[in-house]
Structures are given as C-alpha cells and as structure tokens.
Amino acid sequence: MNAPERLDATPSLGKIMLVGIGPGSVEHMTGRARDAIAEADTVIGYVTYIKLVADLLAGKEVIRKSMTEELDRAIEALDRARQGKKVALISSGDAGVYGMAGPTYEVLFQAGWTPDSGVEVEIVPGASALNSCAALVGAPLTHDFCAISLSDLLTPWPVIARRLDAVAYADFVVALYNPKSGRRTRQIVEAQRLFLRHRRADTPVAIVKSAYRRREQIQFTTLEKMCEADIGMLSTVLIGNSSTFVREGRMVTPRGYANKYESSEGGQGFEAREGEKAGRSLSTGLLGWLDGLHAEHAAGADVAELAQRHRLPVDYLCAVLATEESDA
C-alpha cells in the first residue's frame, strides 16, 4: 500500500478542542485541559486568556482575538481543523458556560458539519467563574442557584429582567455574570431594583474580581449597597438566598430550609428533629406535602386559598389533587 492510497483511506483528521482553563491559575486547570493545549497545533483565544496559559504555548501557532470576535475565533478554528490541524479554542472558566462551545457549534452547523465530516470536536469542562468565586468566599452554592448574564449585547432586556424577577422571587442563590462594563453601567442597578422587590435589603452579596489571579479582589456587601461596590468586566456578583449568612468572613448558604438536625453537646453531634428521619424525605417533602394537601382539600379547604398559602399556581394544585392519592 503506497502513501497516497493511505491518505485517501484515512484522510487527515482535524480536531477542535474547546478548553475551559478554569479561573486562570495553572494549578486550577485540569490535566485534560493542559494535555489538550499540549496536543494542539494552534491555540486560539481572547488575548487575556492566551496570557494566562503563556507558558504552555512554545512552538504553537497562537491566534489572539478581541473580546467581541467570538464567531471569528470559531471560524478560524474550523478553518485550521479542515486543514487537518488540532486546534485548542480556550475559554476561561468552563468552555460551555457562556463560553466558546455554543458559538463554535453554531458556526460548525452553519458550515454543514457532521460528526463524520473529518473534524472531531471535544469539549473539556472546567470550573466556571461561579465555582471559583464561591470557593473563595465560603459556601454560597450549597443550595439551588442560577447564573444570569447582565449583558444585553445578544439578549433583550425584558428577557433578562424577567429572569431576575423570577429567581429573586423563588429564592435562588444567583451569580451575575458580565455585571457591568464601561458602557453597561445601569444593568446592575436594575438588577438590584428587581431583587429588592423580593429580598431583604441586608441579603449578603459577595463580589469577586479576578478569582485566583494576580489582582484578585473579594468584597462582601449587601443587596442594598452592592451598586456602591467596585464592579467591572472581570467581576462575578454572588447574591445569597433568604437563608444565606456571612460569619467570620465566610458567606454560607445552609443545605436546606428545614433545620432538620439540631446539634447536641456543642457541635459534637447532630440529631434529627422530632418527626423527621435521617436519610428520608422531610415530613413536608413531596409525599408528606401531598398527603397534607389531600387531607385539607377533603376537609373542605378552597383550592385557590391553598394555592395562595403554598405560593404555587392554582392549576398545578388542581392537577395534583386530581391525581390519585399517593400511597406513601
């Protein structure tokens, strides 16, 4: 078998690796992220992220792009991969979280890419900004949380505002990405306004800039005062839920809402409260709650009144009550 035939049989395969490098310090990068950059012929990224991995780039083609050239980065990556190159497209944090994975697939599909088309795609996960910032401030993400970008470059404001309102109401811990830039200064003020409709003014807020990087800065403040804090392009804003507290310089969200366990002997032991069992659903968990609801309804309680009391939609309670009694 001669060389040209072999080339025909196994056409040179290119690869695009979407690499999340974590917060930016080398020690918080995964082994796979390092290996992916090492394997690459070409490394493409926003100029700041390229600097963060400067010591891994010897002998590689390096393409530095500005912040807004996301689609161009993906197009260049596809171009090189079609030539049989291995390309690492780097994102800070996780490549999937507001990162390059989405725009890259958009460009690939636009160009008619399929998994068999000779360009392999690998996404290398990493710790996103919310994970890194949380680690530095304590344990704010112990309960349900969400991430909202305040950038209105691609998302209409009513969509963003609706989300802020919904999660403020439903008591999520919230990480705000892209909270403020030179041009976008009022978004954070509007976010605060929407939150203050549902949350206490003294709700803990932590603002982390450049987590695990040289100019790292951590500020603790409150919902009421957060707009006075130093917030910029490299900041992530963490807003606690109604149970989040700050103590000894740590922002902590408790695991649940139930205070299921009470401590005995000065923290040396924890016992489940009366009526609750360790490792089992709460008495107000789904099945217990359903039983109570059915009983109240059978006793003549009004569904609209029950819905209001539980702060849930009337039609959801109707649907639940129409389902046969649980066999818990």
Residue that the structure tokens 């923290």 belong to = 267
182 is an interface residue for a second copy by CB under 8 A: no
In the complex with a second copy, the residue whose CB is nearer, 62 or 166, is: 166
Give the separation between CA 61 and CA 58, rounded to whole angstroms: 9
CB 50 within 8 A of CB 6: no
Give the separation between CA 111 and CA 218, rounded to whole angstroms: 43
Question: Applying CB under 8 A, what is the total number of residues that bind a second copy?
Answer: 126
316 is an interface residue for a second copy by CB under 8 A: yes
Binding residue for a second copy (CB under 8 A) from 110, 202, 298, 314? 110
In the complex with a second copy, the residue whose CB is nearer, 5 or 248, is: 248
In the complex with a second copy, the residue whose CB is nearer, 12 or 117, is: 117
In the complex with a second copy, the residue whose CB is nearer, 7 or 258, is: 258
Supply the minimum distance, in Å, between the C-beta of residue 286 and a second copy: 4
What does the per-residue mask of binding to a second copy show for 9-28, with x meaning CB under 8 A? -----------x-xx--xxx
Residue that the structure tokens 């290119």 belong to = 14
Whole-Å CA distances, 184 to 87, 99, 153, 205, 226: 33, 20, 10, 20, 16
One-letter amino acid of 76: E
In the complex with a second copy, the residue whose CB is nearer, 217 or 243, is: 243
Supply the minimum distance, in Å, between the C-beta of residue 155 and a second copy: 5
Q: What count of Cα atoms within 13 Å lies in the side-chain half-sphere of residue 297?
A: 19
User: Which strand ranges, in their side-by-side order, compose the sheet holding 245-247?
Assistant: 138-139, 250-252, 245-247
Supply the minimum distance, in Å, between the C-beta of residue 253 and a second copy: 6
> Binding segment for a second copy among 2-10, 52-60, 190-198, 221-229 (CB under 8 A)?
190-198
226 is an interface residue for a second copy by CB under 8 A: no
What does the per-residue mask of binding to a second copy show for 28-47, with x meaning CB under 8 A? xxxxx--x------------
Q: Give the CA dihedral 43, 47, 48, 49, nearest 10 degrees.
A: -20
Binding residue for a second copy (CB under 8 A) from 51, 162, 225, 273? 162
Whole-Å CA distances, 245 to 85, 144, 238, 240: 50, 15, 12, 8
Give the separation between CA 25 and CA 231, rounded to whole angstroms: 21
Longest dimension (CA), the chain: 86
215 is an interface residue for a second copy by CB under 8 A: no
| DSSP, res 223 | G
Supply the minimum distance, in Å, between the C-beta of residue 138 and a second copy: 6
In the complex with a second copy, the residue whose CB is nearer, 43 or 124, is: 124
> Which residues 231-290 are close enough to bind a second copy by CB under 8 A?
247-250, 252-258, 260-261, 263, 266-270, 278-282, 284-290
227 is an interface residue for a second copy by CB under 8 A: no
CB 18 within 8 A of CB 99: yes
Give the separation between CA 38 and CA 41, rounded to whole angstroms: 8
82 is an interface residue for a second copy by CB under 8 A: no
Supply the minimum distance, in Å, between the C-beta of residue 6 and a second copy: 28
Supply the minimum distance, in Å, between the C-beta of residue 3 and a second copy: 32
140 is an interface residue for a second copy by CB under 8 A: yes
